[in-house]
Amino acid sequence: MDQKLATITLQLQDLEFLNSPGINVISQFVLKLRKQKSSRLLVRGAREIPWHARTLENLKRLMPEAEVCIE
């Protein structure tokens, strides 16, 4: 049986600051999604915000099938 996975999109383009507890919450969320295997993850960030490229790309280490778009 082929099922189409629901897509969860995290739109973080306007998020200018995120402290380490906030990054931890997002990381835990990604790990739970990976474990459930019931959803696709799309993360959108902004090129103008320096930490986005580095930090959001690291989410792919937690969930390799996640898609990260830095626009």
Strands of the sheet with 67-70, listed across from one edge: 6-11, 39-45, 67-70
Q: Decide: 59 and 28 in contact? Cβ < 8 Å.
A: no
Quote the pTM value.
Answer: 0.85
Q: What is the pLDDT of residues 8-63, one digit of tens each?
A: 999 999 999 999 999 999 999 999 999 998 899 999 999 999 999 999 999 999 99
- CA atoms of 9 and 20, how far apart (whole Å): 21
Residue 20's identity, in one-letter code, is S
Residue that has been written with the tokens 């626009």 in this structure? 71
Q: What is the pLDDT of residues 48-61, one digit of tens each?
A: 999 999 999 999 99
